Structure 1
Amino acid sequence: MQAVHIALQAACVCTQAKVAFTHLRPMLIRTTVQAQYRAISCAAVNLPIPRPPTSTRFQQAGPSIVNFAHYLKNRAGTLASMSTECTAASATTTAVTTAMSAGAACVDPGSISYLSQSDAASVDQLLMGPQLGFSVEQLMELAGLGVAAALAAEWGPQVVVSEPTSAAASSPAATAPAPAGTRRRRVLVLAGPGNNGGDGLVAARHLHHFGYEVKVCYPKPTDKPLYNGLVKQISSLGIPLLPWSALSPAPLAAQADVVVDALFGFSFSGQPRAPFDEIIRALLPSARPPPIVSVDVPSGWHVEGGDSELPPGGALQPDMLVSLTAPKLCARYFKGAHHYLGGRFVPPPLAQRFQLRLPPYPGAAMCVRIGGAEAGSAEQAAVSAAAEARRIADMRISYERGGLEEAAFSGRDPRDVFDEWFRAAVEGKVCEEPNAISLASCDSGGRPSVRVVLLKGYDRRGFVFYTNYSSRKGEELGNGWAAFSIYWEKLQRQIRVEGVVEKVPEAESTAYFHSRPRGSQVGAWVSEQSQPCRDRAELEARNAALQERFSDPSQPVPKPPHWGGFLIRPTSIEFWQGRPSRLHDRIRFRRNSPDDSDPWVMERLQP
């Protein structure tokens, strides 16, 4: 019962933070909700914890909350090893961690110092000199811990999922299985060959102990005792060490929830070499990476000029920057949501010598929030929003994969070209579902709608997909015309198809229906597609009833009369290949009717 008591005290800490915020809310212009919690005691309790405001009154209230939170965290840690009567003790640690975040101050970025490249090097030399006596191992350990703490402050170790998963529990690197309905957040640490990479290796170890599912890519290991020891430490925890070749075939967003960019630090200059150049390209906005946490300096940025000299879209844009010791001048160009300071080791003599103005760290925290797009006044928020809009406008890539020549298409049937391109997309593993098409239709008033469906076949007749005939698209397709496009970014190719639409024969729909998984067959009976639904429980109740009705596996599930296939008989097929300077190649085949007696006409369209 001690664990329950401690857990309830932790709930009080969260409540104190919430109350302090509520009283100060009229003083604030903008707020954000930090997190929600599960299971403060044996029952699930949700407590929204606000992001700490910049108010001095809140900063004064914060330390008392933080100190009590640390006391409870230590007590809960002891009880967690003694008691198995409930999960309250471990839940307490999670709740208290966020309570500490609630007590941390958000600092005005304009009130702190920024270091040049030469000053940053001098600071490191003095820290490790005879007067201050730090070792590189100490500084790296504290820096990596600060990075891990900052990441944990914004992205917790668990992700809520729609269905429970046992993957985390079965992982050899798992410290504990995730609660039902959650999974462990996946963090990929990209470590470079220098001290910045060492900080990343330390952060990986701490993140593992925090409960994350961690993987490390360390392409160019440094053969020195310090780095060899760091590798042994993470290997002993079962953290996978992967070559870049194992990660490069698929987008990083499919492999990680957060990426730690620990490739290059403030001493780096020049152009990245292989494989780091390819890794940085995978982190560019055009590659749509997951949230990026950059350590001290975003890789590829100039330590002082930031990304100002890089071409639009040619620099990674981290969501979080964790400055170490003190922010570098490049941090002024940071446009992401979260800017933190880590490396809690600056002694007063060093701060005085370089006239460093640094924020105080609250309580026992190993990081402090400096700012970012999600902190500050309404004016700052507006500036950040404008910067984000510019960032979106700058999202572009240069198309360099080739071009289309008329000679390669002349005299061919466009359906054969479609088959050739589709096979190339499948063999190239451009995505998980290369058959996903954006299908457009119109209602009787000419109002268009579009949605993604899966192409399920193509032949000389045209292109086949299946759906609910009573859905919105099913009714709109009854008008007789449709169009779809399919885009394969990895190949920088697009195909557009327009044509007459009709239902496939009933026997064909029935045959395909019975080739589907039995659960999908039942699902066709469950969903009244496009109709309003009270809540998910209504669907789940109907599904349970129909699963019971069709529970005998020896009896086939009949095809619903409202479900079947559509065939688009093409009258226009266009092949698009991206080219530099937006001078894209477009080759279109068109005919007046979908009948094979009507010949195809090939033409080039202007981009």
Structure 2
Amino acid sequence: MELAGLSVASAAATEYPVSTHPRVLVVAGPGNNGGDGLVAARHLHHFGHTVSICYPKPTDRPLYNGLVTQCRSLGLQFLTSEELQASPLNTRFDVVLDALFGFSFKGEPRPPFDAIIDMLKPGANPPPIVAVDIPSGWDVEAGDAAGTGLRPDMLVSLTAPKLCAKHFAGSHHYLGGRFVPPQIKEKYRLQLPAYSGVSQCVRVGGSGRSPAAGPANVADMRLSYGAGGRSLDEADLAEAGPMAEFDAWFKLAASCGVQEPNAMSLATASASGAPSVRYVLLKGYDERGFVWYTNYDSSKGKQLEENAAASIAFWWEPLQRQVRVEGVVEKVPDEESDAYFYSRPRGHQIGALVSMQSMPLRHGRQELEDRAAWLEAQYADETAPVPRPPHWGGFLLRPLSIEFWQGRPSRLHDRLRYVRQSAGSQEWRLERLAP
């Protein structure tokens, strides 16, 4: 129950963060779903939300009494069903966590649950609803067969999605259930998605945006940075140096479950100054700078031949951090390109031969697949090495400036930048930039 509630809270806070949905109402029933809701309420409080709970029919068992005690000790507000019905929910709350009934519920809801469920139906214009495992009142298999029940904006399935999830048409469908034992997976042949890093939940579907919410207003999309109170201090960065500081930031991003923390945007320009940007993967870094590998005959490769000035940027959203690097680019030595090429899977080695990167495929994808099949047959003997193409290898960006950016409240971000006069200089100057 503790892990289920944490999964629910993590999923809800992902889509409805405290910066946009600070006021949360948890409606908890007398069964296991209610227990999950009480646990989730506690975690949402720790995440920074202001949480109120309506628990109209408490279960008089030690476990549930303990969950209530924990919530009350944190100062969470408990509302009676009468207090809850005093005014529309959308005037007091930004999101509702529906933890009333689970898959064992049968029949019609009785008082006071019927009135609470009515407040959650579309006609009452409730705030976004996050349903725990099964929307209250739905059949575990048929869903809302009558068509008059809840229409939650988010569903958090626990352990595995129930059949009624097929009828869920809301914005966000998450799975929480990293705690499933292997024997249960095998017994029921569960095909569960991979969880990223230390995450307690994973997105598995949803329309992305509730139709009731109307069209997205890009200008209104904003996130409050710096909730963790992190800051950048000149003294700390001056002691570390730019590459040691990057090493620490990169390793932290990798340990926090960031997907492909080595993904970086690479900006290049032609001889005439026409810019181009794309994402590539960082494949190495040391005191010289930053290394990636590509086709030298690609658009970026040709631009770097014409104009060696380039920049890269990393964005690690969970940490609210970015790193920006500007400098000059050169090819790495052939032996370095060889070493990396032969460290790749054999299929990737052949792929470097297959793709004439950035060239138009006049006969569509089939042209690419035909060439891949031909080369795979040519190099079918795995005892024979695949030659590294002469047009494929590494680039090294030697930095002239490296900026470390940390999100802070009210857009007063921290920006500390190292700069040096030339790529061969060992003398870096550290300066703070205005946000």
TM-score under structure 2 length normalisation: 0.59
Asked if the contact 1:453–1:465 (Cα under 8 Å) also holds between the matched residues in 2, the reply is yes
Asked if the contact 2:198–2:256 (Cα under 8 Å) also holds between the matched residues in 1, the reply is no
Quote the residue 1:269 is aligned against. Answer: none
Rate the CA distance shift 1:127–1:532 in 2: closer, same or farther, 3 A.
same
* Higher alpha-carbon Rg: 1
Instruction: Specify which of 386, 399, 407 is matched with residue 578 of structure 1.
Output: 407
Quote the residue 1:145 is aligned against. Answer: 142
Quote the residue 2:54 is aligned against. Answer: none
Quote the residue 1:204 is aligned against. Answer: 162
Question: Cα RMSD over matched residues?
Answer: 4.0
C-alpha distance in 2, partners of 1:240/1:554?
36
Give the residue type in structure 1 aligned to 2:300.
K
Post-superposition offset of 1:394: 2.5
C-alpha distance in 1, partners of 2:268/2:370?
32
Post-superposition offset of 1:415: 1.0
Asked if the contact 1:189–1:204 (Cα under 8 Å) also holds between the matched residues in 2, the reply is no
Rate the CA distance shift 1:149–1:489 in 2: closer, same or farther, 3 A.
farther
- Which segments of 5 or more consecutive residues in structure 2 lack a partner in the other structure? 1-83, 90-108, 116-133, 148-153, 179-184
Rate the CA distance shift 1:554–1:581 in 2: closer, same or farther, 3 A.
same
Quote the residue 1:389 is aligned against. Answer: 217
Asked if the contact 2:139–2:145 (Cα under 8 Å) also holds between the matched residues in 1, the reply is no
Quote the residue 2:226 is aligned against. Answer: 399
Give the residue type in structure 2 aligned to 1:189.
V
2:394 partner SS? strand
C-alpha distance in 2, partners of 1:403/1:127?
47
Matched, 1:477 2:304: yes
Matched, 1:564 2:357: no
Quote the residue 1:458 is aligned against. Answer: 285
Matched, 1:414 2:411: no
Matched, 1:536 2:365: yes
1:426 partner SS? helix
Instruction: Specify which of 257, 268, 271 is matched with residue 204 of structure 2.
Output: 257
Post-superposition offset of 1:291: 3.7
Post-superposition offset of 1:453: 0.5
Rate the CA distance shift 1:393–1:118 in 2: closer, same or farther, 3 A.
closer
Instruction: Specify which of 482, 493, 498 is matched with residue 326 of structure 2.
Output: 498
Give the residue type in structure 2 aligned to 1:481.
A
Rate the CA distance shift 1:502–1:555 in 2: closer, same or farther, 3 A.
same
**Cα displacement string for residues 466-518 of structure 1 (whole angstroms, at most 9, x for unaligned residues):** 00000000011111111000011111111111111000011111111111111
C-alpha distance in 1, partners of 2:87/2:429?
68
C-alpha distance in 2, partners of 1:473/1:144?
53
Quote the residue 1:443 is aligned against. Answer: 270
Asked if the contact 2:406–2:413 (Cα under 8 Å) also holds between the matched residues in 1, the reply is yes
Give the residue type in structure 2 aligned to 1:541.
D
2:156 partner SS? strand
C-alpha distance in 2, partners of 1:447/1:148?
58
Quote the residue 1:76 is aligned against. Answer: none
Asked if the contact 2:177–2:200 (Cα under 8 Å) also holds between the matched residues in 1, the reply is no
Post-superposition offset of 1:562: 0.6
More strand by share: 2
Rate the CA distance shift 1:147–1:118 in 2: closer, same or farther, 3 A.
farther
* Aligned residue pairs, count: 295
Matched, 1:433 2:233: no
C-alpha distance in 1, partners of 2:174/2:146?
17
Give the residue type in structure 1 aligned to 2:137.
M
1:140 partner SS? coil
Matched, 1:588 2:426: no
Quote the residue 2:78 is aligned against. Answer: none
C-alpha distance in 2, partners of 1:490/1:216?
20
**Cα displacement string for residues 225-249 of structure 1 (whole angstroms, at most 9, x for unaligned residues):** xxxxxxxxx999666999xxx7893
Give the residue type in structure 1 aligned to 2:411.
R
Give the residue type in structure 1 aligned to 2:321.
R
Post-superposition offset of 1:143: 8.7
Asked if the contact 1:444–1:476 (Cα under 8 Å) also holds between the matched residues in 2, the reply is yes
Post-superposition offset of 1:145: 3.0
Post-superposition offset of 1:148: 8.4
Rate the CA distance shift 1:435–1:127 in 2: closer, same or farther, 3 A.
closer
C-alpha distance in 2, partners of 1:495/1:205?
45
Asked if the contact 1:148–1:207 (Cα under 8 Å) also holds between the matched residues in 2, the reply is no
Q: Which moved more, 1:526-535 or 1:140-149?
A: 140-149
Rate the CA distance shift 1:119–1:204 in 2: closer, same or farther, 3 A.
farther
Q: Which moved more, 1:405-414 or 1:471-480?
A: 405-414
More helix by share: 1
Post-superposition offset of 1:118: 6.7
Rate the CA distance shift 1:127–1:235 in 2: closer, same or farther, 3 A.
farther
Rate the CA distance shift 1:524–1:576 in 2: closer, same or farther, 3 A.
same
Instruction: Specify which of 515, 526, 545 is matched with residue 354 of structure 2.
Output: 526
TM-score under structure 1 length normalisation: 0.43
C-alpha distance in 2, partners of 1:443/1:519?
32
Post-superposition offset of 1:140: 2.6
Matched, 1:189 2:156: yes
Matched, 1:489 2:380: no
Identity of aligned residues (%): 44
Post-superposition offset of 1:395: 3.2
Give the residue type in structure 1 aligned to 2:316.
W
C-alpha distance in 2, partners of 1:576/1:420?
14
